[in-house]
Structure 1
Amino acid sequence: MKKKLGLQAVRASLLSALFVSGAVLGSGSGIAAEPAADRTAGFSRAEIETIVRDYLIANPEIMLEVQDALEARQRDQQQLAQIETIRAAGDDIFNSAHDGVYGNPDGKYTLVEFFDYNCGYCKRAMADMLEMTKANPNVRFVLKEFPILGPDSQRAHIVGQAFQHLMPEQYGEFHIRLMGAAGRATEESAIKVALSLGADEARLREEMKDPKIADVFNRTYEIANKLGITGTPSYVVGEEVVFGALGRDVLEQKVANLEQCGKATC
């Protein structure tokens, strides 16, 4: 569904566009088209606004055209900002020592997933990751913990980070078990999974107190904010951000595009 633009934003954009195009005073006003500097001479603000209003009432479809143009510009600006962020923070996004990796650690094609253990869509999307890494040995998933769904999520992810620091080679299995578990992920359920994989409880609880874990999350929040990521799952593929659990086919096409043209969208 399209977002509705504010009246002031639409009016300001239209006022500029209409005078530049000559549409306002050259259509329906009885005044011949003249240079822009002359056309507005002698008109008060109220008169100009009346002309704009009358024009819009007579040609309401232009509102949709302006809305589409503004949204397209916003998308372009967002994409440019995302590319700048990905280039500037590439190591933190693709190669952070604090992130788990699933699939071939040396895989040629990387998908970075921002996830929350209590995200229902992330649970469904896990199957995409498992199937893709099984089918394509050149694919690696970077698992970027992004707890945004409340205190339970935050505490569960603290356990996840502590486990990743202590037993990074087992983190992939930890991720699968906790993400696939029934019910809500909590500190207790995350610790239970960690212990089932051989973690020492005393060491794990001590690692959970490390203030560096908060630093890791804060850096992830900072990157996500710059990328426009506000929900999970979201992915970074090449220099593109992909929002939502769009399914294996979409992600595989992104990988195929990387192979074909070096970009997620050719």
Structure 2
Amino acid sequence: MKYRLLPPVLAAIAGFSALTGAARAQSASADAVFSTKQRAAIVQIMRQALQDDPTILTEAIRSLRVKAQQQQEDKSMAGVRAHRDELQQAPDFAVRGNPHGKITVVEFFDPRCSYCRHMMPVVDAFLARHPDVRLVEKLVPVLGEGSVIDTRAIFAASAQGKYDVMRRALMDDTTKPTMDRVSEVAKANGLDMTRFAADMSAPQTVALITTNLDQARAVNLDGTPTFIFGTAAMAPGALEPDQMDEFLERARKA
């Protein structure tokens, strides 16, 4: 499961557009081939077929959805291959595991996303199992104002060498995120509060967020968390340990 960036209704619109587009193309072709009487007969046959077996329409819609999903995945992977170098780069503080690892895994996540929080120990264990993996973290605040506040706070803490400390503290925190709350967490973790307050709105903080969001758009990101295994697979949603291992093996063989 995952949080989606776009309303599910867009999928239905996409399917409807494909269906109506196909219908228009068929209609234009029919005008050139069939007479008015023949077209009326064809329409009647189709109506009768749908009345006799409504699953025909259900199967057609399902087929369109599968095709649309495949097109979405193809578009995302095309973006991954086109932007491979940018995706696999990040400030040193956002790189975990083996910094010289043979395989790079990219994780897009939102600090307020419950599924992202669920994945924290799963990712920790994954890195412990695979010492040759380099993990690049991409913070993307996509769930509203609270996400933006937490993301700014985490990047502000990075200026004092406490990115991971603040990331874990805020992702474990269940209190509603506010400026006062993130300041409390920062103070409790030993940050210089004058510097922290300034870095919350510093140009480098804004630049880090903008870069990650631009990269998310480049790969047509659909939700958080999303993992990219090399250039072999893009896997959205909370994954099981064995799923992560399987995607990693696919990346090793690519």
Counting only pairs closer than 5 Å after superposition, residues 106-145 of structure 1 correspond to structure 2 as 106-145=100-139
Q: Distance in 1 between matches of 2:41 and 2:93?
A: 60
Q: What RMSD over aligned residues (CA atoms) do the two structures have, in Å?
A: 3.4
Q: Distance in 2 between matches of 1:235 and 1:49?
A: 47
Based on CA coordinates, which of the two structures has the bigger radius of gyration?
1
Percentage of pairs with the same residue:
26
What displacement does 1:65 show? 3.2
Q: Distance in 1 between matches of 2:47 and 2:20?
A: 9
> 1:152 — aligned with what?
146
Which 5+ residue runs of structure 1 have no aligned equivalent?
21-35
Q: Distance in 1 between matches of 2:16 and 2:222?
A: 26
1:85 corresponds to 2:79:
yes
1:242 corresponds to 2:250:
no
Alpha carbons of structure 1 residues 117 and 187: separation in structure 2 relative to 1, 3 Å = farther
> 2:247 — aligned with what?
254
Query: Can you list the C-alpha shifts for 1:11-33, whole angstroms capped at 9, x where unaligned?
Result: 6546867999xxxxxxxxxxxxx
Contact 1:231 1:244 (8 Å CA) reproduced: yes
Contact 1:113 1:143 (8 Å CA) reproduced: yes
What displacement does 1:158 show? 0.7
RCO (CA 8 Å, sep 6+): is it higher in 1 or 2? 2
Which 5+ residue runs of structure 2 have no aligned equivalent?
1-7
Q: Distance in 2 between matches of 1:195 and 1:177?
A: 12
Q: Distance in 2 between matches of 1:119 and 1:83?
A: 23
Query: Can you list the C-alpha shifts for 1:77-116, whole angstroms capped at 9, x where unaligned?
Result: 2122112211232233221338712222222222222222
Q: 1:200 aligns with which of 160, 181, 192?
A: 192
What displacement does 1:127 show? 0.7
Number of aligned pairs?
243
Contact 1:113 1:234 (8 Å CA) reproduced: yes
Query: Can you list the C-alpha shifts for 1:218-247, whole angstroms capped at 9, x where unaligned?
Result: 333333234343432222222332111122
Which moves more between the two structures, 210-219 or 137-146?
210-219
Alpha carbons of structure 1 residues 143 and 99: separation in structure 2 relative to 1, 3 Å = farther
> 2:5 — aligned with what?
none
Q: Distance in 1 between matches of 2:130 and 2:109?
A: 22
SS of 1:183 mapped into structure 2: coil
SS of 2:223 mapped into structure 1: coil
What displacement does 1:126 show? 0.3
Please give the TM-score of this superposition, normalised by the length of structure 1: 0.75
Contact 1:129 1:141 (8 Å CA) reproduced: no
Q: Distance in 2 between matches of 1:181 and 1:4?
A: 36
